[in-house]
Structure 1
Amino acid sequence: MIFKILTGLVDEAAVVKTKAEHYMARFANDEITVFKHWSEEATYLYLAKGKRAAFVGMTGPPTLDKIEEAAKRLVMVPEDPLYVPLGGPQPANYSEPAEGFEKIPDLVKAAIDAAEGVERSAGVVHMTYIVVEYRDTAGRSGSYSANRVYLAMRSFIGDLSATSTSAGRKLADIKAEEVGKRNAQILHAAKGLPQVKIEPRRADVLLSPLVFGHLIGELASSWASGSEILAGSSRYTKDDLGKEVASPILTVLDITSDKAAYGFTPFDLEGVPTRPIEIYRKGIFAGVLHTRRTAHALGMEPTGHALRNWAMPSPGHIYIAPADGPADAEELFRELKNGYYIHNNWYTRFQNVKTGQFSTVGRDVLLEIKDGKPVAFVKFVRIADTLENVVKNIAVLSKEISQVYWWDMPTPVHAPYAVLKNIGITT
């Protein structure tokens, strides 16, 4: 129907329709307080006439007026310097049934019960079933359906708090007991310790998978995106491919095509199949995320990463390879020796994207470590440094990784614990 409306108004068109069913359980004081279900529907249009192109998003079913208005506005749009005709391989077809939501309360109970000795816990389980259909005037079409779910829980002892998460594709993937145990472990380590204030300094830090994964997700979105490289906003250029730019123990991939990843997406908004992309390979800048437009402009191949819009490629799910560091938090404290353990973060902001100058606020408990043991806890701490120092100063990565995600993260990740040397922290 949409293509019939557009006949004669545009030369090319692509339509992406999405439908999502959401199930959410919120809990506080160890009890579920809200259990809700809602649906979302959206339509995304790519329209081109000559070399003029426009991208339009609509919530709910598309209307005749909105479609015609979008097509007519093309005459007011300048020619797109990155224009490429529609085309490419056929999108994959993938289908899976919707996951049942009945066991969500069981996950909540398992996480709460595993947080032994804490006073109370609060959090959310959010499950989504998404159905996506793609069709374009080049004769390409495809569809997929997928489940995604994450659990985020914050536990408290007095004024101390700790947050942990687990993500996956099905309820059975969620490691609820580990979430509860991690929170309890950190809170009991901090309980009874004195609170100290710190002056701005450079120090060694141990980052949890939640924090380290968050920062690498930010980096992938800004420095490994083909559109950012073209705009000159990335720290890297095409000429940096193959150069050592990070710690030799750092290997990072985008694994959006992996069916086990929370962010699994078979094809992007251009109908291009996603594929795994190495961003760092043992410290070497190895790959760039692309749409068809950015790939053509840089003389590379599309990677299927028009995931949020047609204009800017972005990561869908990041995988940070483990190394040979300890898996247990207490052993990692000994590996850190002297420094600070940061368990969670939020409010990440950039002062300069190209240089990677950022700050992020330490949320919840932060432990001061001396001689491998917690000796105090700190509040109101901010990491203030550059992403370049983050990736270059990695000294240890744990041998085990966790799949984590929550609403404040830019991208879902598989991430290890990481010890970073000489990082800027302030209050």
Structure 2
Amino acid sequence: MIFKLLAGRADEAAVVKIKQLNYMIRFANDDITVFKNWQSENTFIYLSKARKTAFVGVTGPPTVEKIEEAVKSLASLPEDPLYIPLGGPQPAKYHEPPEDFSKLPDLVKTAVDSAQGVERSAGVVHLAYVTVTYEDTAGREGSYSVNRIYMTMRSFLGELSATSAAAGRRIGDIKAERLGEENSHILRLAKGLPQTRAEPSRTSLLLTPLVFGHIISEIAAVWASGSEILAGSSRYTKDDLGREVASPLLTVIDITHSQEAFGYTPFDMEGLTPRPVDVYKKGVLAGFLHTRRTAHALGMEPTGHALYNWTRPTPGHVYIAPGDGGTDVEDLFRELKNGVYIHNNWYTRFQNVKTGQFSTVGRDVALEVKNGKPAAVIKYIRIADTLENVAKNVALLSKETKQVYWWDMPTPTHSPYAILNNIGITT
């Protein structure tokens, strides 16, 4: 129907339809309070005529009025400096059956039962079955269906709280018992410690996968995006490729192509299959994320990262390679020796995107560590520094990575624990 309406009125068009079936459990005080399901549908349309382009997003099926509005807007638009004709190989066709949502309550029971010694726990489990179709006037078409699931759990002990999270592509990927065990372990270590306030200073930090994965995925989204490089809002330029810009311990790869990753996507909104992109390779800036448009403008190859729109390439799933540090948090305290452990974060804000000046608030328990042991609970702490200092000051990474995601993370991530030196904190 859409292509018939556009016949003779646009030189090119592409249509992406996304349908998502969602199942969600919320639980509080160790009991399930909500178990619901809902469907969503969105349609995205790309149009071009005489090197002018328009992009339209519609909730639900597109109306004739919306399509007419998009066509009429082309006449008043200037030529698109990033215009490139539609093209590329045929998009993939990949379909997997939906997961059995009736198993979701078992995850909650397992997690709650494993949180020994806490007073109560709350959280969410979200399972999505996503179906995407692509079609364009160049004769290309494809479709896929994938499962994605994540679980977060927050446990409480007195005034203390701890959050754990897990993500995957199958219900079996979620090791719910680990969530409860991780929360109860850190809360037991913090119980009974004196409380202190954060003082503005520079110190060593031990960050969990939730925190480190969050910050590093911000780098991938902001500084490795081809559109940000073209706009001059990235810290890097094309000339920085091949330079050492981060700690030699740091390797960061976008793995949206991996079927094991929560963010797995068989093709993007241009119909291209995402390929792995090394952003940092042992501290060396190795690559950027591209759409066909940004790649053409920079004389580079597209990477299949038009994941949410046609204009801005974004990461779909970030992998941070592990190191040789401990796997148990108490081992990592000993390796930290003296510094601060931050368990979770939120309210991440940028004061300057190009310089990477940011701050993020500590959520849940934060601990002062002295001589390799927790010495006090720190109240009201905030990391305040630059993304560049974070990337350059990685001193140790744990041997294991965890696949994590929750609603306040910008990008699903495989991340290890990380020790960073000389990082700014404040209240």
TM-score, normalised relative to structure 2: 0.99
Partner of 1:229: 229
Counterpart residue identity of residue 104, structure 2: I
CA drift at 1:9: 1.4
Partner of 2:39: 39
CA drift at 1:66: 1.0
Contact 2:153 2:163 (8 Å CA) reproduced: yes
Q: Which runs of 5+ in 2 are unaligned?
A: none
CA drift at 1:251: 0.4
Match of 1:306, SS? coil
User: What is the CA–CA distance in structure 1 between the aligned matches of 2:122 and 2:63, rounded to whole Å?
Assistant: 41
User: What is the CA–CA distance in structure 1 between the aligned matches of 2:14 and 2:308, rounded to whole Å?
Assistant: 15
Partner of 1:328: 328
User: What is the CA–CA distance in structure 2 between the aligned matches of 1:401 and 1:93, rounded to whole Å?
Assistant: 30
User: What is the CA–CA distance in structure 1 between the aligned matches of 2:82 and 2:275, rounded to whole Å?
Assistant: 22
Match of 2:93, SS? coil
Partner of 2:59: 59
Partner of 2:372: 372
CA drift at 1:301: 0.5
* Pairing of 1:39-118 with structure 2 (within 5 A): 39-118=39-118
Counterpart residue identity of residue 424, structure 2: G
Partner of 1:158: 158
Contact 2:398 2:418 (8 Å CA) reproduced: yes
Match of 1:102, SS? helix
Q: Deviations over 1:94-127 (max 9, x none)?
A: 1101111001000001111111100000000000
User: What is the CA–CA distance in structure 2 between the aligned matches of 1:365 and 1:379, rounded to whole Å?
Assistant: 8
The answer to whether structure 1 residue 276 and structure 2 residue 276 are counterparts is: yes
Contact 1:207 1:341 (8 Å CA) reproduced: yes
Partner of 1:243: 243
User: What is the CA–CA distance in structure 1 between the aligned matches of 2:58 and 2:132, rounded to whole Å?
Assistant: 14
* Pairing of 1:21-420 with structure 2 (within 5 A): 21-420=21-420
Counterpart residue identity of residue 92, structure 2: A
Contact 1:99 1:147 (8 Å CA) reproduced: yes
User: What is the CA–CA distance in structure 1 between the aligned matches of 2:203 and 2:114, rounded to whole Å?
Assistant: 33
Q: Between the two proteins, what is the percent identity of the paired residues? A: 70
TM-score, normalised relative to structure 1: 0.99
User: What is the CA–CA distance in structure 1 between the aligned matches of 2:309 and 2:56, rounded to whole Å?
Assistant: 9
User: What is the CA–CA distance in structure 1 between the aligned matches of 2:257 and 2:84, rounded to whole Å?
Assistant: 24
User: What is the CA–CA distance in structure 2 between the aligned matches of 1:335 and 1:19, rounded to whole Å?
Assistant: 47
Match of 1:94, SS? strand
Contact 1:404 1:414 (8 Å CA) reproduced: yes
User: What is the CA–CA distance in structure 1 between the aligned matches of 2:233 and 2:327, rounded to whole Å?
Assistant: 36
Q: Deviations over 1:224-264 (max 9, x none)?
A: 00000011100000001000000001000000010000000
Cα RMSD for the two superposed structures: 0.5
Q: Which runs of 5+ in 1 are unaligned?
A: none
Counterpart residue identity of residue 367, structure 2: L
Counterpart residue identity of residue 382, structure 2: R
CA drift at 1:184: 0.6
Q: Which runs of 4+ in 1 moved over 6 A?
A: none
CA drift at 1:198: 2.4
Q: Deviations over 1:262-303 (max 9, x none)?
A: 000011001111111110000000010000000000000000
Counterpart residue identity of residue 354, structure 1: K
User: What is the CA–CA distance in structure 2 between the aligned matches of 1:176 and 1:218, rounded to whole Å?
Assistant: 27
CA drift at 1:219: 0.7
User: What is the CA–CA distance in structure 1 between the aligned matches of 2:44 and 2:200, rounded to whole Å?
Assistant: 47
User: What is the CA–CA distance in structure 2 between the aligned matches of 1:185 and 1:55, rounded to whole Å?
Assistant: 49
Contact 1:364 1:379 (8 Å CA) reproduced: no
